């Protein structure tokens, strides 16, 4: 099967200038993404997602290993790769402040050498798609950050790339805008034959709902890679528990309780309560957790056993939550 994006044993290290210490941002990553696939990388801050995308986009060299986009080596054939891709990165400035929204997209279309009538129609379609049609004549520096992000996404599709890299495409977007953008990305892959999208996200629901396959990345390694439903099936039935407890504590110590595979928690300041997610090796270990919480002086308000999510898969694999 022909791969659209491929990495073979890619590692990337960064040297710190002062201390001379070496950080391994990517550690022997081998993976492949097919034509027609919408693939998502899910991982916490610093996992290596952007580093890998930058290598595929020819913006960063691998320290070792090789990577290919549509069969072109990203190091030796960088210019061939650049002709067929586009990349957008969450939070970046999507163009020139003094140009209007439509002028910015037009400007990029002309850098790509797109024929005038095609470019004009595409600008219109993309502004509709990202919900900026009514801002078409607004100068870019007057846009809110969420609007700038939407303009950035529109720019990614402007050259109708064969392979599109979206680094955190919905970063900072409100719920409805994020949904609209996700819908456009999904539809674009479904309706444009053999295109490939590789996106990164911290939002597990985004990876789950949107992507055909998800790669879970942690400390520079791809720790799992499959369809969301297959990944979730890795977590055994009835081994995920969610406790709602009064107050807050450092719950890391629950990691040593027998049967605990991993856990994560969040404190809710308004209600001074915490939500604690625990992944267990066996359902019966829940009694041990209840006793341990009591020993910590935590009052349990409720206990549920929800359906596993991709975050539970992450906890199951690395012992802690995504945040």
Ligand X SMILES: Nc1ncnc2c1ncn2[C@@H]1O[C@H](COP(=O)(O)OP(=O)(O)OP(=O)(O)O)[C@@H](O)[C@H]1O
What is the contact surface with Mg ion in residues (CB under 5 A)?
49-50
Select the binding partner of residue 215 from Mg ion, ligand X, none (C-beta < 5 to 8 A, by kind). Answer: none
- Supply the minimum distance, in Å, between the C-beta of residue 50 and ligand X: 3
- Supply the minimum distance, in Å, between the C-beta of residue 12 and ligand X: 8
Select the binding partner of residue 151 from ligand X, Mg ion, none (C-beta < 5 to 8 A, by kind). Answer: none
Nearest to ligand X of 122, 218 (CB atom): 218
- Supply the minimum distance, in Å, between the C-beta of residue 68 and Mg ion: 22
Q: Of all residues in this chain, which one has the CB nearest to Mg ion in the complex?
A: 50
- CA-nearest of 304, 300, 293 to 254 is 293
Q: How far, CA to CA in Å, does 206 sit from each of 33, 157, 240, 291? A: 18, 19, 20, 35
Select the binding partner of residue 47 from Mg ion, ligand X, none (C-beta < 5 to 8 A, by kind). Answer: ligand X
Both tokens of 95, joined, read 């163009």
- Supply the minimum distance, in Å, between the C-beta of residue 49 and Mg ion: 5
- DSSP, collapsed to helix, strand or coil, labels residue 96 as coil
Nearest to ligand X of 15, 76 (CB atom): 15
Nearest to ligand X of 51, 196 (CB atom): 51
Q: Residue 263, class by beta-carbon neighbours within 10 Å (0-12 exposed, 13-18 middle, 19+ buried)? A: buried
- Supply the minimum distance, in Å, between the C-beta of residue 57 and Mg ion: 13
Which residue reads 């002028």 in tokens?
Answer: 103
Both tokens of 92, joined, read 């970046």
Both tokens of 236, joined, read 């055994």
Nearest to Mg ion of 35, 202 (CB atom): 202
Select the binding partner of residue 23 from ligand X, Mg ion, none (C-beta < 5 to 8 A, by kind). Answer: ligand X
Nearest to Mg ion of 162, 167 (CB atom): 167
Both tokens of 62, joined, read 């691998």
- DSSP, collapsed to helix, strand or coil, labels residue 20 as coil
- Angle at which helix 145-157 crosses helix 101-111, to 10 degrees, equals 30
Contact 254, 292 (CB under 8 A): yes
- Supply the minimum distance, in Å, between the C-beta of residue 167 and Mg ion: 6
Nearest to ligand X of 19, 45 (CB atom): 45
**N-terminal to C-terminal alpha carbon distance within the chain:** 36
In the beta sheet, which residues pair with residue 13? Answer: 24
What residue ranges bind ligand X (CB under 6 A)?
A: 14, 23, 25, 43, 45-51, 202
């Amino acid at each position: 099967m022909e791969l659209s994006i491929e990495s073979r044993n890619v590692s990337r290290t960064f040297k710190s200038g002062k201390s001379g210490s070496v950080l391994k941002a990517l550690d022997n990553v081998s993976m492949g993404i097919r034509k027609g696939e919408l693939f998502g990388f899910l991982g916490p801050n610093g996992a290596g997602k952007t580093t890998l995308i930058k290598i595929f986009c020819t913006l960063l060299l691998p320290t070792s290993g090789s990577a290919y986009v549509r069969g072109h080596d990203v190091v030796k054939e960088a210019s061939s790769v650049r002709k067929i891709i586009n990349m957008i990165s969450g939070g970046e400035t999507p163009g020139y402040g003094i140009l209007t929204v439509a002028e910015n997209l037009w400007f990029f279309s002309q850098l790509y050498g797109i024929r005038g009538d095609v470019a004009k129609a595409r600008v219109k379609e993309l502004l509709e798609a990202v919900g900026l049609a009514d801002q078409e004549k607004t100068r870019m520096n007057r846009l809110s950050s969420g609007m700038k992000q939407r303009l950035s996404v529109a720019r990614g599709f402007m050259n109708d790339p064969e392979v599109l890299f979206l680094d955190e495409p919905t970063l900072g977007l409100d719920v409805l805008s994020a949904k609209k953008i996700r819908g456009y990305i999904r539809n674009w892959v479904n309706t444009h034959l053999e295109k490939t999208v590789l996106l990164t996200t911290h939002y597990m629901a985004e990876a789950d709902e949107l992507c055909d396959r998800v790669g879970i990345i942690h400390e520079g390694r791809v720790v799992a890679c499959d369809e969301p439903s297959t990944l979730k099936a890795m977590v055994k039935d009835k081994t995920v528990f969610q406790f709602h407890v009064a107050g807050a504590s450092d719950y890391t110590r629950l990691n040593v309780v027998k049967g605990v595979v991993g856990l994560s928690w969040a404190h809710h300041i308004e209600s001074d309560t915490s939500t604690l997610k625990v992944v267990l090796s066996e359902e019966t270990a829940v009694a041990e957790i209840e006793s341990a919480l009591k020993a910590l002086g935590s009052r349990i308000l409720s206990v549920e056993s929800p359906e596993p999510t991709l975050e539970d898969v992450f906890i199951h694999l690395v012992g802690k939550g995504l945040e």
